[in-house]
Structure 1
Protein backbone atom coordinates (compact mmCIF):
# COMPACT_ATOMS: atom_id res chain seq x y z
CA UNK A 1 0.00 0.00 0.00
CA UNK A 2 1.24 3.48 -0.89
CA UNK A 3 0.51 6.48 1.29
CA UNK A 4 -2.31 8.56 -0.23
CA UNK A 5 -1.34 12.15 -1.06
CA UNK A 6 -4.13 13.52 1.16
CA UNK A 7 -2.41 11.98 4.21
CA UNK A 8 0.75 13.97 3.52
CA UNK A 9 -1.21 17.17 2.86
CA UNK A 10 -3.21 16.83 6.08
CA UNK A 11 -0.07 15.95 8.02
CA UNK A 12 1.75 19.09 6.89
CA UNK A 13 -1.39 21.19 7.39
CA UNK A 14 -1.58 19.86 10.95
CA UNK A 15 1.91 21.19 11.57
CA UNK A 16 0.86 24.79 10.81
CA UNK A 17 -0.73 25.43 14.25
CA UNK A 18 2.45 24.05 15.86
CA UNK A 19 4.34 26.83 14.08
CA UNK A 20 1.72 29.55 14.62
CA UNK A 21 2.02 29.83 18.41
CA UNK A 22 5.80 30.23 18.70
CA UNK A 23 5.89 32.39 15.56
CA UNK A 24 3.30 34.78 17.00
CA UNK A 25 5.19 34.98 20.30
CA UNK A 26 8.47 35.57 18.47
CA UNK A 27 7.30 38.22 16.00
CA UNK A 28 4.60 40.05 17.97
CA UNK A 29 4.72 39.03 21.64
CA UNK A 30 2.91 42.17 22.79
CA UNK A 31 -0.16 41.28 20.68
CA UNK A 32 -0.42 37.64 21.84
CA UNK A 33 -3.64 36.97 23.75
CA UNK A 34 -3.46 35.46 27.24
CA UNK A 35 -5.10 32.26 26.02
CA UNK A 36 -2.55 31.56 23.27
CA UNK A 37 -0.25 29.24 25.23
CA UNK A 38 -3.16 27.33 26.75
CA UNK A 39 -4.92 26.70 23.44
CA UNK A 40 -1.63 25.95 21.66
CA UNK A 41 -0.67 23.40 24.33
CA UNK A 42 -4.12 21.81 24.11
CA UNK A 43 -3.69 21.45 20.33
CA UNK A 44 -0.23 19.92 20.69
CA UNK A 45 -1.49 17.44 23.30
CA UNK A 46 -4.52 16.59 21.14
CA UNK A 47 -2.27 15.81 18.16
CA UNK A 48 0.05 13.70 20.34
CA UNK A 49 -2.97 11.73 21.59
CA UNK A 50 -4.29 11.45 18.02
CA UNK A 51 -0.96 10.07 16.83
CA UNK A 52 -0.95 7.57 19.69
CA UNK A 53 -4.45 6.57 18.56
CA UNK A 54 -3.15 6.15 15.01
CA UNK A 55 -0.46 3.85 16.32
CA UNK A 56 -3.14 1.97 18.28
CA UNK A 57 -5.07 1.55 15.02
CA UNK A 58 -2.00 0.15 13.26
CA UNK A 59 -1.48 -2.37 16.09
CA UNK A 60 -5.15 -3.40 16.28
CA UNK A 61 -5.11 -5.95 13.43
CA UNK A 62 -2.30 -7.84 15.21
CA UNK A 63 -3.79 -7.54 18.72
CA UNK A 64 -4.14 -11.28 19.26
CA UNK A 65 -0.38 -11.74 19.03
CA UNK A 66 2.15 -10.48 21.56
CA UNK A 67 3.44 -7.76 19.21
CA UNK A 68 -0.03 -6.34 18.64
CA UNK A 69 -0.85 -6.45 22.35
CA UNK A 70 2.37 -4.64 23.16
CA UNK A 71 1.52 -2.00 20.54
CA UNK A 72 -1.96 -1.47 22.00
CA UNK A 73 -0.61 -1.07 25.53
CA UNK A 74 2.16 1.29 24.42
CA UNK A 75 -0.27 3.43 22.43
CA UNK A 76 -2.70 3.60 25.35
CA UNK A 77 0.04 4.71 27.75
CA UNK A 78 1.17 7.43 25.35
CA UNK A 79 -2.42 8.66 24.92
CA UNK A 80 -2.75 8.98 28.69
CA UNK A 81 0.61 10.77 29.00
CA UNK A 82 -0.35 13.21 26.20
CA UNK A 83 -3.66 13.94 27.90
CA UNK A 84 -2.05 14.28 31.32
CA UNK A 85 0.62 16.65 30.01
CA UNK A 86 -1.89 19.51 29.87
CA UNK A 87 -2.25 19.34 33.66
CA UNK A 88 1.48 19.88 34.23
CA UNK A 89 3.32 23.20 34.52
CA UNK A 90 3.84 24.63 31.02
CA UNK A 91 7.55 23.87 30.55
CA UNK A 92 7.19 20.38 32.04
CA UNK A 93 4.22 19.76 29.73
CA UNK A 94 6.28 20.78 26.69
CA UNK A 95 9.11 18.46 27.72
CA UNK A 96 6.65 15.60 28.32
CA UNK A 97 5.09 16.12 24.89
CA UNK A 98 8.50 16.13 23.21
CA UNK A 99 9.13 12.75 24.84
CA UNK A 100 5.71 11.49 23.69
CA UNK A 101 6.36 12.51 20.08
CA UNK A 102 9.81 10.90 20.11
CA UNK A 103 8.43 7.70 21.67
CA UNK A 104 5.70 7.63 19.04
CA UNK A 105 8.34 7.87 16.33
CA UNK A 106 10.26 5.05 17.99
CA UNK A 107 7.02 3.05 18.17
CA UNK A 108 6.44 3.62 14.47
CA UNK A 109 9.98 2.45 13.77
CA UNK A 110 9.19 -0.73 15.72
CA UNK A 111 5.84 -1.10 13.93
CA UNK A 112 7.50 -0.81 10.52
CA UNK A 113 9.76 -3.75 11.38
CA UNK A 114 7.25 -5.86 13.32
CA UNK A 115 3.71 -5.29 12.08
CA UNK A 116 4.32 -4.19 8.51
CA UNK A 117 4.72 -0.91 6.70
CA UNK A 118 2.92 1.57 4.51
CA UNK A 119 5.22 3.02 1.90
CA UNK A 120 6.16 6.59 2.76
CA UNK A 121 4.43 6.69 6.16
CA UNK A 122 7.53 6.42 8.33
CA UNK A 123 9.32 9.10 6.32
CA UNK A 124 6.31 11.42 6.74
CA UNK A 125 6.10 10.66 10.47
CA UNK A 126 9.81 11.41 10.87
CA UNK A 127 9.55 14.80 9.15
CA UNK A 128 6.41 15.75 11.09
CA UNK A 129 7.92 14.61 14.39
CA UNK A 130 11.05 16.68 13.79
CA UNK A 131 8.85 19.66 12.94
CA UNK A 132 6.66 19.19 16.02
CA UNK A 133 9.62 18.76 18.36
CA UNK A 134 11.39 21.77 16.82
CA UNK A 135 8.38 23.98 17.50
CA UNK A 136 8.12 22.68 21.09
CA UNK A 137 11.80 23.44 21.66
CA UNK A 138 11.34 26.83 20.00
CA UNK A 139 8.49 27.60 22.42
CA UNK A 140 10.61 26.48 25.37
CA UNK A 141 13.31 28.93 24.29
CA UNK A 142 10.98 31.94 24.10
Structure 2
Protein backbone atom coordinates (compact mmCIF):
# COMPACT_ATOMS: atom_id res chain seq x y z
CA UNK A 1 0.00 0.00 0.00
CA UNK A 2 1.22 3.49 -0.74
CA UNK A 3 3.06 5.08 2.20
CA UNK A 4 1.10 8.30 1.69
CA UNK A 5 -2.15 6.42 2.29
CA UNK A 6 -0.85 5.25 5.66
CA UNK A 7 0.24 8.75 6.67
CA UNK A 8 -3.05 10.28 5.58
CA UNK A 9 -5.04 7.54 7.31
CA UNK A 10 -3.26 8.08 10.60
CA UNK A 11 -3.44 11.86 10.19
CA UNK A 12 -7.20 11.43 9.86
CA UNK A 13 -7.21 10.34 13.50
CA UNK A 14 -5.99 13.75 14.66
CA UNK A 15 -9.50 15.29 14.79
CA UNK A 16 -10.86 12.22 16.61
CA UNK A 17 -8.10 12.30 19.22
CA UNK A 18 -7.83 16.09 19.46
CA UNK A 19 -11.56 16.65 19.86
CA UNK A 20 -11.77 13.83 22.40
CA UNK A 21 -8.95 15.32 24.46
CA UNK A 22 -10.56 18.76 24.25
CA UNK A 23 -14.16 17.68 24.65
CA UNK A 24 -14.83 20.05 27.55
CA UNK A 25 -13.06 23.10 26.11
CA UNK A 26 -15.82 24.40 23.84
CA UNK A 27 -19.55 23.74 23.45
CA UNK A 28 -19.19 23.04 19.72
CA UNK A 29 -16.68 20.24 20.28
CA UNK A 30 -19.46 17.64 20.34
CA UNK A 31 -20.86 18.86 17.03
CA UNK A 32 -17.38 18.94 15.49
CA UNK A 33 -16.62 15.40 16.68
CA UNK A 34 -19.86 13.80 15.55
CA UNK A 35 -19.88 15.66 12.22
CA UNK A 36 -16.30 14.63 11.47
CA UNK A 37 -17.18 11.07 12.40
CA UNK A 38 -20.14 11.03 10.01
CA UNK A 39 -17.98 12.45 7.21
CA UNK A 40 -15.31 9.78 7.72
CA UNK A 41 -17.98 7.08 7.80
CA UNK A 42 -19.22 8.35 4.44
CA UNK A 43 -15.67 8.19 3.12
CA UNK A 44 -15.52 4.48 4.03
CA UNK A 45 -18.57 3.81 1.89
CA UNK A 46 -16.94 5.81 -0.89
CA UNK A 47 -13.98 3.44 -0.88
CA UNK A 48 -16.30 0.57 -1.77
CA UNK A 49 -18.11 2.74 -4.34
CA UNK A 50 -14.78 3.38 -6.08
CA UNK A 51 -13.86 -0.30 -6.02
CA UNK A 52 -17.30 -1.25 -7.33
CA UNK A 53 -16.97 1.16 -10.24
CA UNK A 54 -13.50 -0.15 -11.11
CA UNK A 55 -14.41 -3.86 -10.97
CA UNK A 56 -17.15 -4.95 -13.38
CA UNK A 57 -18.02 -7.95 -11.20
CA UNK A 58 -18.72 -5.55 -8.29
CA UNK A 59 -20.79 -3.06 -10.29
CA UNK A 60 -24.16 -4.42 -9.28
CA UNK A 61 -27.12 -2.32 -8.16
CA UNK A 62 -27.20 -4.03 -4.76
CA UNK A 63 -23.50 -3.44 -4.10
CA UNK A 64 -23.71 0.20 -5.18
CA UNK A 65 -26.72 0.68 -2.89
CA UNK A 66 -24.82 -0.95 -0.03
CA UNK A 67 -21.95 1.51 -0.59
CA UNK A 68 -24.39 4.29 0.30
CA UNK A 69 -25.20 2.76 3.69
CA UNK A 70 -22.35 4.42 5.67
CA UNK A 71 -23.35 7.86 4.36
CA UNK A 72 -26.96 7.31 5.31
CA UNK A 73 -26.10 5.92 8.73
CA UNK A 74 -23.77 8.85 9.42
CA UNK A 75 -26.47 11.33 8.42
CA UNK A 76 -29.08 9.50 10.50
CA UNK A 77 -26.75 9.50 13.50
CA UNK A 78 -26.45 13.28 13.32
CA UNK A 79 -30.24 13.60 13.58
CA UNK A 80 -30.42 11.61 16.81
CA UNK A 81 -29.95 12.87 20.36
CA UNK A 82 -26.82 12.00 22.27
CA UNK A 83 -25.91 9.30 23.24
CA UNK A 84 -27.82 7.56 20.42
CA UNK A 85 -25.64 9.45 17.91
CA UNK A 86 -22.51 7.88 19.37
CA UNK A 87 -24.05 4.41 19.57
CA UNK A 88 -25.11 4.47 15.90
CA UNK A 89 -21.67 5.73 14.86
CA UNK A 90 -19.87 3.06 16.91
CA UNK A 91 -22.10 0.32 15.51
CA UNK A 92 -21.64 1.64 11.98
CA UNK A 93 -17.85 1.76 12.23
CA UNK A 94 -17.65 -1.76 13.64
CA UNK A 95 -20.15 -3.19 11.15
CA UNK A 96 -18.42 -1.59 8.17
CA UNK A 97 -15.04 -2.78 9.41
CA UNK A 98 -16.38 -6.34 9.55
CA UNK A 99 -17.82 -5.91 6.03
CA UNK A 100 -14.46 -4.57 4.80
CA UNK A 101 -12.74 -7.68 6.09
CA UNK A 102 -15.00 -9.93 4.00
CA UNK A 103 -14.70 -7.84 0.83
CA UNK A 104 -11.24 -6.30 0.51
CA UNK A 105 -8.38 -8.72 0.81
CA UNK A 106 -5.32 -6.46 0.81
CA UNK A 107 -3.45 -7.19 4.08
CA UNK A 108 -2.03 -3.66 4.38
CA UNK A 109 -5.46 -2.11 3.94
CA UNK A 110 -6.99 -4.51 6.45
CA UNK A 111 -4.31 -3.72 9.04
CA UNK A 112 -4.64 0.02 8.48
CA UNK A 113 -8.43 -0.14 8.77
CA UNK A 114 -8.17 -2.17 11.96
CA UNK A 115 -5.89 0.42 13.55
CA UNK A 116 -7.93 3.40 12.37
CA UNK A 117 -11.25 1.84 13.36
CA UNK A 118 -9.94 0.83 16.79
CA UNK A 119 -8.81 4.38 17.61
CA UNK A 120 -11.97 5.98 16.19
CA UNK A 121 -14.24 3.61 18.15
CA UNK A 122 -12.18 4.11 21.31
CA UNK A 123 -12.64 7.88 20.98
CA UNK A 124 -16.39 7.37 20.55
CA UNK A 125 -16.47 5.19 23.66
CA UNK A 126 -14.70 7.91 25.66
CA UNK A 127 -17.36 10.39 24.52
CA UNK A 128 -20.08 7.90 25.42
CA UNK A 129 -18.61 7.38 28.90
CA UNK A 130 -18.65 11.10 29.73
* TM-score (normalizing by structure 1): 0.83
- Of structures 1 and 2, the larger Rg is shown by 1
Whole-angstrom distance in 1 between the partners of 2:107 and 2:101: 13
Describe how 1:48-87 pairs up with structure 2 within 5 A: 48-62=41-55, 64-65=56-57, 67-69=58-60, 70-87=62-79
- Mapped pair 1:109 → 2:101: yes
Structure 1 stretch displaced more, 47-56 or 3-12: 47-56
**TM-score w.r.t. structure 2 length?**
0.90
Bigger relative contact order (CA 8 A; separation at least 6)? 1
CA offset at residue 52 of structure 1?
1.2
2:29 to 36, 49, 52: 36
Segments of 5+ residues of structure 1 without an aligned counterpart are none
CA distance, structure 2, for counterparts of residue 119 and residue 33 of structure 1: 39
The residue number in structure 2 matching 1:21 is 19
Cα distance in structure 2, aligned partners of 1:55 and 1:130:
20
Whole-Å Cα distance in 1 between the matches of residues 51 and 118 of structure 2?
Answer: 21
CA contact (8 A) 2:77 2:88 kept: yes
Instruction: Output the aligned Cα RMSD.
Output: 1.6
d(CA) in 1 for partners of 2:51 and 2:110?
Answer: 12
Distance 2:98 2:51 in 1: 14
